Structures are given as structure tokens and as C-alpha cells.
Chains A and B, each alone.
Chain A
């Protein structure tokens, strides 16, 4: 933990590629350092104009102004039409979720059909999924966060297009959210990994309302239907629902501690029969 008043530098000068997970994680890291030290950390932006331009199109600079101190990069060349599925968006209130759902509906349809080969109607479950995953921050994390999504051609890794969705928050994490209501029944086994299992696999929440806790369950169901990968990292553990095209372990424990939570979703293009 940084001491009050200590300055921290995030050196991103040599960054050659970054996806929504990386961008959102940078914001989370900067935000946590800023809160601990009481002053904005400094970030050196990438030297690569391609990366810098991409960060700009993803809205990174706009969000970074709330987190980092940095020299605003000069715009080079004319502005081009955005190819971004969902720019990095801060999630603080339910109003933010409404805006995200409205915005993504107008853009997701073309990407889902042309790049992923999904039916046109898939924009509805995609929007619902985004709504639920963003609400997870407001309803359960008790802290703010960010979401971003973009489509990529994973030519080498998968030979297909994918959509990558990243959601991170700096809330209390899954264990923190569930401890009061559910830790007793787990006894000594209660940990970040059992808390993730309780929420991710069994739909437990801190609420006694039987209608609560289904957001993650329904997201898992939809991701499985699209043969996608979903993982949730919180504290020192990460739990995943792994499709056949990936070999990630379903549970990893003993990771570096992550305050809050990170939900990552990867949706691959449909395989034509």
C-alpha cells in the first residue's frame, strides 16, 4: 500500500496492444493507488500512435482524467468513424446502466451479425446480459466500476472473431458481499473461492429475496448458449465457465489479491455447420 502523498508512475510508454480488460484494469489500478496515496498517480501514455489512437476511440482518455494525471495526447489525423462496440463507461448509478443498454442496442446488432454470425435478434439477449453484468456492480459491489466491450479477430488463437467484455469494480468483492449471510455455513472453508462458488454456481446473494441472485446464473446460461467463456475474479480466486475451445482451469486460487471484482466474457463467432 502506498503512503499518503507518495507519487506513483504508471509507465505505459511501451504498450503495444491492449484490450478492454487491460484498459479497465489500468483505471482500477490507478484509482486504487490514487485513493491510497491521496493524489492522482501519473500515467505515461503509449508511444505507439496506433495504441494511443485506439485508447482514444475506446474513451480511455476521458475516463483516465478522473483517475490519472497525464499530458493529454495530441490528436493526429482526422477523426474516423468509431468501430467501438462499447467505449469504457463508468458505472456508478442505474442511470449509467440504462445509457449503456440504449447505446449498445444501436451498435451491437451489426457486429453480432456480421462478425460473429449470430442471428439479428441476438442483440436483445446481448443487451440483457450487459444490463445484468453492470448491475452486479451497483447491487452487490457497493462501489463504482467500469465496463468496456470490443470485437477482435482472434485469427491466431481461435481463427474466429470474438467479442470481449470486461467489467471491473472497486467494491467489496464477492466474499465481502456474502460473508454476513453465508460464511457461517461454510465454517473454516469460507474463502474467496467458496464465495465465488456460492455466487457463480449456486446463485447465492446477501439478499433473502428469492428473486435475487439470478443475474449471474442467466448470464452463464446465455454465455454457454453462445459457446463463450465467462470468468469472475475477486480477492485471490478466479472461477470460470470454460468452453471446449479454451483450456483455462475452472477455479484458480492463490492469485494476487484483486479488490472488488472482475467479470470477463468472451463470445466467439458462431461456427458454421
Chain B
């Protein structure tokens, strides 16, 4: 970890696909392909600090099927959620209309959610989440970050506060262990885009 934020890394899935699987494949399809790409991503992540945020970029991927979306997106998130300490965060970039149904489908099937860029500079929650979580996440996304003494800006009620804790627990928002400030994940990867 550097400064007060997590280490950040940008990973181009299209480039990983070409490099780690086969340069002939233009589509992210079949489960073994997805597994190979995920393992290559995990290898890259091992080089980051103990607290990290990764921008996983699908911009150069033509087609992704459900099996690959499960291997690359859902499994990365599931492994992160399985850890007791929340130390790896993910933002998925370039999830266009061609990718969105598959990513959403695999996340919903396992009651997962992710922060996803669906259009340039437009982030949204995709997957399974409550209306309370959506409302609080939208406010945080609008604010960018919130100081500990200004939580009322995004979570003025007890219900909102519980939703915020859930977002933090699910890795959909980041709280600095040093300052207590809460950050929208999109802001933490803005410099990588």
C-alpha cells in the first residue's frame, strides 16, 4: 500500500488472452480459456501490495461467454470475498453491451455484485444488490469520497448506514484503514484510465 490508498494495477484482459492462451483466439470463450486468463491475472496481482485495487479492462475483448465470465469475473470476486480480510478490490472496465448480459448473468446467479464501467466514465453496480445499497452507492459515486465525519452525506439514516457497511463488506466501496475516509472504487482507478 502506498500513501493512504491501495496499490492500483490495470490489467488488459485482451492482452492477457493473446499472451497467455493463444494469439489466434480473438474471443474470450470456453472455460479453460477463462481459467487460464484468470490465473494469468492472479499472477499479475501477486506483484501488488497487500492492499490492492485492480482495473480489469475488457475493452479489447470481442466476445465473452458465460463460462469465461464466470471464470474471470465471478471467481475473482468470490475468492476475494472468501478472504477474511478485504484486501483486493476490483473494477471492471469496458464491459460493453456485448459483455454486459454475460457478466450480469454470472454475478446474479451467485448473488455477487461488481463495480463496472459500462460506457466511458460511466460506472454502475452490476449483479445482485439491494435498493438501499444502490442508493448509497450512487451517492458515494457522486461524491467520490467522504470523510468519516461527513458520512451523513451518503448514509443519513440507520438503514443507509447498514447498506454502506454491506457495500464495504462486499468490496464495492473502500474505507482507508488510516483515515477512515470512504472512496468510490471508480475514483481509485481514475488515474489508470
A contact residues vs B (CB 8 Å cutoff) = 94, 97-98, 101-102, 105, 121, 124-125, 127-128, 131-132, 135, 138-139, 210-212, 214-215, 217-218
Given A102-B25, A128-B29, A131-B67, 18 additional A-B pairs, CB 8 A? A94-B31, A98-B27, A98-B29, A98-B30, A105-B63, A124-B97, A125-B101, A128-B63, A128-B66, A131-B29, A132-B67, A139-B31, A211-B71, A214-B70, A214-B105, A215-B66, A217-B109, A218-B105
Bitwise interface map of B from 75 to 93 toward A, beta carbon under 8 Å scored 1, else 0 = 1001000000000000000
Contacts of A125 in B (CB 8 A): 101
Tell me whether A135 and B74 are in contact in the complex, defined as CB-CB below 8 angstroms, given that A121-B97, A128-B102 are known contacts: no
Interface residues on B, range: 20 to 34
24 residue pairs bridging A and B, Cβ less than 8 Å apart: A97-B30, A98-B24, A101-B63, A101-B65, A105-B62, A124-B97, A128-B102, A131-B27, A131-B30, A131-B65, A131-B67, A132-B66, A132-B67, A135-B29, A139-B67, A210-B109, A211-B71, A211-B74, A211-B109, A211-B110, A212-B70, A214-B105, A218-B66, A218-B102
* B159 within 8 Å of A (CB atoms): no
Q: Which of B90-114 contact A (CB under 8 A)?
A: 97-98, 101-102, 105-106, 109-110
How far does the alpha carbon of A215 sit from the alpha carbon of B29 in the complex, in Å? 12
Contact of B27 among A127, A212, A217 (CB under 8 A): A127
The SS class assigned to the A binding surface is helix
List residues of chain A with CB within 8 A of the CB of B97.
121, 124
The residues of B that contact A124 with a CB separation of less than 8 Å are: 63, 97-98
Chain A residues with Cβ below 8 Å from B25 are 98, 102
Q: Residue on A with the closest CB to B101?
A: A125
Using Cβ atoms and an 8 Å threshold, which residues of chain A touch B105?
A: 214, 218
Q: Report yes or no: A97 in contact with B109, Cβ–Cβ below 8 A.
A: no
Name the residue on A nearest B30 (C-beta).
Answer: A94
Q: Per-position contact with A for B11-37: 1 when CB-CB < 8 Å, else 0?
A: 000000000001011110111110000
Which residues of B133-165 are within 8 A (CB) of A?
none
Tell me the minimal C-beta distance from A225 to chain B in angstroms. 10
Q: Is B30 a contact of A102 with CB atoms below 8 Å?
A: no
Q: CB-CB contacts of B31-75 with A at 8 A, as 1s and 0s?
A: 111000000000000000000000000000011111100110011
Residues of the B chain whose Cβ atoms lie less than 8 Å from the Cβ of A121: 97-98
Task: Report the Cα distance A218→B101, complex, angstroms.
Answer: 10
Instruction: With CB as the reference atom, state the residue of chain A lying closest to B111.
Output: A210
Whether A94 and B32, one on each chain, are in contact in the complex, defined by CB atoms closer than 8 angstroms, is yes
Instruction: Please give me the residue from chain A that is nearest to B102 by CB atom.
Output: A128
CA distance A264 to B84 in the complex (A): 45
B27 pairs with A102, CB closer than 8 A: yes
Residues from chain B with Cβ under 8 Å of A138 in the complex:
30
Q: Known contacts A124-B63, A135-B30, A218-B105; is A211 also within 8 Å of B98 by CB?
A: no
